[in-house]
């Protein structure tokens, strides 16, 4: 199943290190679409590399994992990784026709859309956000966790809201449903999305489908959406087994929440979905006011004495 | 003898330069606790009892007493009250003898210290000397036993360094001749390490106990290293947050006559730190310094010897982080100019040594206002890479450290101007042996608080 798109010149045997986010299940498959994408591309093209799991995105010059570290200590972060591999001669799309390559490039916008949906599902879906935060802080000392909680929670939510433009859950999940249906329609019963040869688009979609299908969370809406298309599930399992050498069982969804299963019907959305920044209470200004008041009172009493 | 106001007990306040015999002593404790005042009174005021004193001489005595009150008092006020003549006679007073008096002492509490202002800093940061704006506020004798609380905010205008600190200091065992203190400090620092291409935020708490030459400290600090876009991989791999919980001991002994321009005496200090009592930072760090000064024959000058050695060793599979590495500063090199580098950025090291010999002359220019001394020196040192937590790695780094081919050697000379406990140096240095990655500097103007390499 692997393609070997090596250039004619002698291949460098020096080692490249790809830094990906840390996996949680011990199977070296992190629930991070971009990391999975690069792993699949590297395996399919035969790019000589070792994989290193890493916790902090700040190691990357773009502050996003995955990151490639060449033997010359050059660092290339996401989203420039795939382009760097192409430049080095490891191009998964080289064997496709020109029109297919054009289609692949045009469909790459789905990466951003699916990324935003995945971010919303993990961090802003109130059923999943707490577990995601706990998971992020699970290996961190308690004082660091406290400082993170005090200093970054509000900033993160502001950033995510602005970046995704998803103010209501209905927007995110209805778009997810449309995109998943589009993908199922595009794949049909083919082995790969673009015929019988894999492409970078396959790696991209696999990364997202794997995360949606297999990550166990309190709300499994996305998993249920994808499972309703058997060709997408088969595609995912095929890549897992043939390319990555892993067999996984789909997690159960019967006892999980799926608030957004049927968006066509009347769904009573939780009230906290309407996140408005000016209605969010913060202890920081209160503590600041108390500190200033104490200081002024102490100063006044001292002068008076 | 002048007569002051009569009080209800028919005792007369007296002033003057005549002699008086103190037969009674009263201390007004004010806001202080009884134990605090009693202990200090016993030490300093006890000898006065039964002595013949002169009122003016007491005024010269009080500043020294106030300076030993652990900052609680800024001065002492005293009143000399003539006791009842019948009582005085009963105690053996005869005409012509010094009057028997009651000495009433009232410490003047220091209520507040602090201020707002701009200072020209002596302590250099990554961009060198520059102004600091600061805002500080403090209260002494907070709970009546010499405790002090202070808060300070400092901003270094040239670099982007910010420091915020709240400190609580309490003197312990006031009666002991060896002073001891407990100090608790809450801090938050924000520092742009421009030369090393990262920004660091530190927040934490330190608790320390010092007695005499020894200081014991526990430090809990959350460090967040944020690399800049041009930071090399060796710095990036240690980015993010880490929590350091460390216990440190410092022993310092200094019997030099003047730390900034010593002519006689010696000083040594040893600091040992173990990080890993909680937190995710595990290392052992030690630094030792020794300095000897010998006056030359016929008083021509001074010969100074200086030696320094330090190492940091990770354990438990940890590695030495960027913010924990040792940086060596030597005359003749740029700041962070010695040691391993990657893409031009200094990385710091894990083992270092420095040996220096100075010959310092006496004041060269008489009647100039400020003393100007000449000096010549030779210095040698090395900064080796930080080892990993394996015996092989430690051996390799130690071998690199002691290898003479890796040593840096400089010679030079210049002028030294001591000014208000600060040492100002203007030197010309010739690099005899340096590493290809080192950044040298021939002419240098340096400021320090003591003789250093």
* pLDDT over 90, % of chain B: 32
Residue B126 pLDDT: 42
Between B7 and A150, residue with greater pLDDT: A150
pLDDT for A91:
92
Taking only the tens place, the pLDDT of each residue in B261-317 is 888 899 999 999 999 988 889 999 999 999 999 998 877 889 999 999 999 999 988
Q: According to the model, what pLDDT value does residue B378 have?
A: 94
Residue B441 forms contact with A (CB below 8 Å): no
Which residue from A69, A295, A299 is facing B233, i.e. has the nearest CB? A69
**Chain A residues lying within 8 Å of B241, measured CB to CB:** 140, 144, 147-148
Q: What is the DSSP letter of B289?
A: E
A–B interface: beta-carbon pairs under 8 A: 49
- Residue B124, pLDDT above cutoff 50: no
Please say if the pLDDT value at position B116 is more than 70: no
Inspect the interface and report whether the beta carbons of B242 and A144 lie closer than 8 Å: yes
pLDDT given at position A13: 44
Is the complex ipTM higher than 0.85? no
CA distance B276 to B282: 4
**Are residues A58 and B343, on separate chains, in Cβ contact within 8 Å?**
no
In Å, how far is A206's CA from the nearest CA of chain B?
A: 29
Note whether A290 contacts B: Cβ–Cβ < 8 A: no
CA distance B348 to B395: 18
Q: Which residue of A has its CA nearest to B227?
A: A58
User: B218 touching A, CB under 8 A?
Assistant: no
d(CA A105, CA A204): 12
**For residues B121 and B131, what is the distance between their CA atoms, to the nearest angstrom?**
6
User: For residue A302, which residues of chain B lie inside 8 Å, CB to CB?
Assistant: 111-112, 139
Asked if B214 contacts B250 with a C-beta cutoff of 8 angstroms, the reply is yes
CB-based contact, A58 to chain B, within 8 Å: yes
Residue of A53, A71, A144 to mutate when probing chain B, most B C-beta within 10 A? A144
pLDDT value for A235: 95
CA angle B107-B109-B112, nearest 5°?
165
Among the partner-chain residues B222, B232, B240, the one whose CB lies closest to the CB of A56 is B240
Residue B388 has pLDDT above 80, yes or no: yes
Average pLDDT value over all residues in chain B: 83
Choose between B287 and B132: higher pLDDT: B287
| Greater pLDDT, B57 or B334 | B334
Distance from CA of B314 to the nearest CA of A (A): 18
CA-based nearest residue in chain A for residue B241: A144
Q: Choose from B112, B136, B164, B222 for mutation: most chain A CBs within 10 A.
A: B222
Range of lowest pLDDT (A13-27, B63-77, B108-122): B108-122
- The answer to whether the CB of B100 falls within 8 A of the CB of B92 is no
Q: Does B205 have pLDDT greater than 80?
A: yes
Highest-confidence range of A133-147, B61-75, B139-153, B298-312, by mean pLDDT?
Answer: B298-312
Quick one: pLDDT at residue B150? Answer: 87
B278 touches chain A (CB under 8 A): yes
What per-residue confidence (pLDDT) applies to A180? 93
Please tell me the predicted confidence (pLDDT) of residue B320. Answer: 92
C-alpha–C-alpha distance, residues A222 and A173, integer Å: 8
**Which regions in chain A score pLDDT beneath 70?**
1-14, 149-168, 259-285, 301-305
For residue A139, give how far its alpha carbon lies from the nearest alpha carbon of chain B (Å). 10
* A69, A73, A141 member nearest B279 (Cβ): A141
Q: Which residues of A touch B225 (CB under 8 A)?
A: 58
CA gap A33, A37 in Å, rounded: 6
pLDDT tens digits, residue range B396-416?
A: 888 888 888 889 999 999 988
Note the pLDDT tens digit of each residue in B218-260. 999 999 999 998 899 999 999 988 999 999 999 999 999 888 8
In this prediction, residues B129-157 reach a mean pLDDT of 79
Q: Is the pLDDT confidence value at B421 over 50?
A: yes
Give the pLDDT of residue B120: 47
pLDDT at A70: 92
The nearest CA of chain B is from the CA of A112 a distance in Å of 23
Say what the pLDDT of residue B313 is: 93
The more confident residue out of B227 and B133 is: B227
Interface of A with B in 109-168 (CB under 8 A): 140-141, 143-144, 147-148
Strand (E) or helix (H) holding B89: helix B85-90
CA distances from A69 to A11, A36, A43, A48 (A): 17, 17, 17, 12
B112 touches chain A (CB under 8 A): yes
């Amino acid at each position: 199943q692997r393609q070997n798109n090596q250039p004619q010149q002698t291949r460098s045997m020096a080692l490249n290190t790809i830094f990906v986010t840390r996996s949680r299940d011990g199977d070296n498959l992190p629930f991070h679409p971009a990391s999975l994408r690069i792993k699949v591309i590297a395996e399919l093209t035969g790019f000589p590399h070792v994989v290193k799991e890493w916790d902090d995105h700040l190691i990357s010059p773009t502050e996003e994992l995955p990151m490639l570290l060449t033997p010359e200590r050059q660092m290339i972060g996401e989203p420039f990784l795939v382009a760097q591999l192409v430049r080095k001669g490891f191009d998964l799309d080289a064997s496709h026709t020109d029109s297919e390559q054009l289609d692949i490039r045009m469909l790459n916008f789905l990466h951003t859309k699916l990324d935003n949906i995945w971010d919303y599902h993990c961090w802003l879906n109130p059923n999943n956000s707490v577990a995601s935060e706990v998971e992020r802080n699970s290996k961190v000392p308690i004082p660091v966790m406290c400082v993170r909680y005090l200093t970054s929670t509000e900033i993160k939510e502001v950033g995510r809201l602005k970046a995704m433009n998803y103010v209501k859950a209905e927007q995110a999940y209805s778009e997810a449903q449309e995109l998943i249906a589009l993908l199922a329609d595009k794949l049909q019963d083919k082995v790969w999305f673009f015929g019988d040869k894999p492409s970078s688009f396959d790696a991209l979609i696999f990364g997202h489908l794997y995360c949606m299908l297999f990550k166990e969370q309190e709300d499994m809406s996305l998993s249920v959406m994808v499972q309703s298309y058997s060709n997408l599930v088969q595609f995912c399992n095929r890549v897992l087994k043939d390319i990555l050498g892993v067999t996984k069982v789909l997690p159960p969804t019967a006892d999980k929440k799926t608030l957004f299963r049927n968006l066509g019907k009347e769904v009573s959305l939780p009230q906290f979905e309407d996140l408005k920044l000016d209605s969010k209470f913060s202890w920081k200004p209160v503590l600041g006011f108390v500190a200033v008041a104490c200081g002024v009172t102490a100063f006044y009493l001292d002068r008076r004495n | 003898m002048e007569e002051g106001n009569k009080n209800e007990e028919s005792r007369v306040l007296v002033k003057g330069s005549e002699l008086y015999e103190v037969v009674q002593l009263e201390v007004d404790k004010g806001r202080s606790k009884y134990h605090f005042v009693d202990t200090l009174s016993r030490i300093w005021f006890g000898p006065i009892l039964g002595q013949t004193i002169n009122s003016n001489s007491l005024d010269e005595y009080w500043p020294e007493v106030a300076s030993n009150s652990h900052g609680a008092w800024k001065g002492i006020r005293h009143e000399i009250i003539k006791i009842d003549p019948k009582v005085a006679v009963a105690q053996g007073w005869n005409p012509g003898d010094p009057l028997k008096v009651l000495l009433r002492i009232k410490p003047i509490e220091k209520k507040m210290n602090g201020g707002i202002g701009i200072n020209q800093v002596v302590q250099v940061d990554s961009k060198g000397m520059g102004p600091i704006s600061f805002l500080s506020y403090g209260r002494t004798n907070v709970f009546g036993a010499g405790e002090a609380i202070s808060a300070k905010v400092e901003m270094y205008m040239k670099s982007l360094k910010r420091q915020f600190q709240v400190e609580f200091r309490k003197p312990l065992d006031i009666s002991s001749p060896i002073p001891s203190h407990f100090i608790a400090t809450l801090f938050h620092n924000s520092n742009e390490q421009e030369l090393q291409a990262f920004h660091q935020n530190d927040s934490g708490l330190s608790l320390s106990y010092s007695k005499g030459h020894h200081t014991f400290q526990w430090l809990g600090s959350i460090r967040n290293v944020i690399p800049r876009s041009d930071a090399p991989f060796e710095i990036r791999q240690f980015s993010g947050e880490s929590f350091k919980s460390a216990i440190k001991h410092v022993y310092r002994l200094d019997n030099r006559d003047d730390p900034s321009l010593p002519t006689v005496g010696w000083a040594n200090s040893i600091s040992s730190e173990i990080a890993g009592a909680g937190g995710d930072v595990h290392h052992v760090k030690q630094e030792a310094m020794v300095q000897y000064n010998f006056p030359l024959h016929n008083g021509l000058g001074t010969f100074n010897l200086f030696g320094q050695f330090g190492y940091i060793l990770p354990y438990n599979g940890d590695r030495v982080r960027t913010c924990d590495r040792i940086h060596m500063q030597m005359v003749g090199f740029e700041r962070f100019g010695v040691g391993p580098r990657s893409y031009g950025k200094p990385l710091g090291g894990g083992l270092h040594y420095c040996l220096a010999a100075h010959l310092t002359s006496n004041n060269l220019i008489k009647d100039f206002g400020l003393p100007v001394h000449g000096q010549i020196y030779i210095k040698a040192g090395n900064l080796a890479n930080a080892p990993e937590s394996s015996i092989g790695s430690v051996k390799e780094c130690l071998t690199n450290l002691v290898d003479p081919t890796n040593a840096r050697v400089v010679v030079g000379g210049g002028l030294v101007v001591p000014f208000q406990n600060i040492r100002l140096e203007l030197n010309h240095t010739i690099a005899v042996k340096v590493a290809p990655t080192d950044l040298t500097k021939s002419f240098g103007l340096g400021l320090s608080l003591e003789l250093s390499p």
